[in-house]
Structure 1
Amino acid sequence: MSNAFDLTGKTAAVTGGGRGLGLGISQALLEAGADVIVFGRSGIPDELTALAGRLGREVAFYALDLADSDQIAEVGARVLAEHRVDVLVNNAGTQDRYPAAEFPLEAWDRVIDVNLRSVFQLCQIFGRPMLERGEGKIVNLASLLSFQGGITVPAYAASKGGVAQLTKALCNEWSGKGVNVNAVAPGYMATEMNTALLNDPVRLEQLSVRIPAGRWGQPEDIGNVVVFLASQASAYVHGQVLAVDGGWMAR
């Protein structure tokens, strides 16, 4: 591995880092040399612990409900008392589907809280010591719906549009102070969140034929890009929302 991509000696914190895209991100960060802190609600899989052991890396778990701002503040303070966090990856998110005219406000609030408010809060908590040190990397998970509107997911689309704009806003304030803030916008990924689509032959075909790369993405496709954005290789990359979508947005 080129030195520019080497994360040896760094510690990365990943929300939702024990499953789906988050697991792929955690694995890629470990393989690049980083120790990993996983925030989540249900622990971490044995395969992640085993990978860390084989690589001589450390992986730690902190239980965290991203809908609870008080818990985020408490856990964030505890993590910073125990670790220096060099990289923050805001990966975790949630989604609800209802026609817009019938979308419950309770569901709207929860999606916005988890997908947007928690991202800003975590950027504040972990960004402050990065700014004090004059270095750090923040990678937010946006979405294709940061660019498009979607159907029956107005809260998700609004939250991910917000993540894209938040990424740019933080870049404008923090890039000159040594902190890179960027986002990754995954395309259609073969993960648990998309099980319903993957199991619907008609919808699966409709989506698949539009992907120029000819396949759905895998967690490692996102993990490898996060490593780039977390490393010195992206030193002059600021405020970008990078679509990792097999060419979807080019169609």
Structure 2
Amino acid sequence: MQEIIDSFRPGLFKGKTILVTGGSSGIGLAIAKGFARLGGSVIAIGSSEQKLAAARAGSPDIRFEQVDVRDAKAIKLFVGGLDRLDVLVNGAGIARPVSEFEDETYLEVIDVNLNGQMRFAMAARPLLKASGGSIINIASMLSYLSDPAVPAYGASKTGVLGLTRHLAHAFGPEGIRVNAISPGYHKTDMTKALWTDPLAAEKIAARSALKRWGTVDDLVGTALFLSSPAATFVTGADLPVDGGFVVGGF
């Protein structure tokens, strides 16, 4: 990650508070670390105490808290207790392959991946208005493509792009920018079954323009850019970080 961090001014986010949901592992944790290394005061939210404990041990410069993105009251209470907020990264997400065709599971995935982002955005709105801050919603390449095993995940991530555009216009007059990042195939726990399968891993890498899988660090620079003064006129946008996968072909 050091080369990515070196691309930005040291202390760029000093005095800024950044809140990252889904920040106890994977993409969210990598993004949280990136902000912290540029001087930000970072709060990372997770739902699993086990993951939070492991993250705390490895990242003492980040504050980790347990908050359920499905609990509107808990979200309002937590965010309302902050003194300031400059960046909200909505990174919490789940996928339940195959079982998403069941009503209960389908609704759970939608609630976490889409409704959770709306809950945090609304709770953070007053603080972001005060700071002239921004929101980054984590979407997915499945906002554009289909995967027959995860209809709820695909629907929720497609919804994230719509939510991003609408909130950009709703919050824009208050000086709040709202953008999205759409990751592709990155090596995380969620994709482990694929990148540990040689045939599946090679097939996916072959479609990428860069002929490789992404790492979680590949998302960090984009998040930092969208939250920086370099992106002050960027809002309602989605930046795919997928190595060219979506525009490729097998």
Residue 230 of structure 1 corresponds to 227
Residue 98 of structure 1 corresponds to 98
For 1:169 and 1:244, the matched residues in 2 are separated by 22
> What count of residue pairs does the alignment treat as equivalent?
237
For 2:212 and 2:16, the matched residues in 1 are separated by 33
CA RMSD of aligned residues (A): 1.8
Residue 199 of structure 1 corresponds to 196
For 1:65 and 1:245, the matched residues in 2 are separated by 28
For 1:9 and 1:188, the matched residues in 2 are separated by 33
The sequence identity of aligned pairs, in percent, is 36
For 1:136 and 1:22, the matched residues in 2 are separated by 19
Moved more, 174-183 or 21-30: 174-183
- TM-superposed CA distance for 1:249, in Å, is 2.2
Say if 1:176 and 1:4 are closer, same or farther in 2 by CA, change over 3 A. Answer: farther
The answer for unaligned runs of 5 or more in structure 1 is 53-58
Query: 1:21-68: per-residue Cα shift (whole Å, max 9, x none)?
Result: 11110111111221100111222332211xx2xxxxxx2222112233
Residue 56 of structure 1 corresponds to none
Query: 1:71-92: per-residue Cα shift (whole Å, max 9, x none)?
Result: 22332323x2xx3111000011
Residue 31 of structure 1 corresponds to 37
For 1:14 and 1:61, the matched residues in 2 are separated by 10
Find out whether 1:8 has 2:19 as its counterpart: no
* TM-score after normalising by structure 1: 0.89
Residue 48 of structure 1 corresponds to 59
* TM-score after normalising by structure 2: 0.89
Give the SS at the match of 1:13: strand
Counterpart of 1:147 (choices 126, 144, 149) is 144
Give the SS at the match of 1:127: helix
For 2:109 and 2:70, the matched residues in 1 are separated by 9
Residue 55 of structure 1 corresponds to none
- TM-superposed CA distance for 1:191, in Å, is 1.0
Residue 108 of structure 2 corresponds to 110
Say if 1:94 and 1:209 are closer, same or farther in 2 by CA, change over 3 A. Answer: same
- 8 Å contact from structure 1 (residues 184, 241) kept in 2: yes
For 2:157 and 2:200, the matched residues in 1 are separated by 22
For 2:162 and 2:79, the matched residues in 1 are separated by 23
Give the SS at the match of 2:125: helix
Residue 186 of structure 2 corresponds to 189
The answer for unaligned runs of 5 or more in structure 2 is 1-6
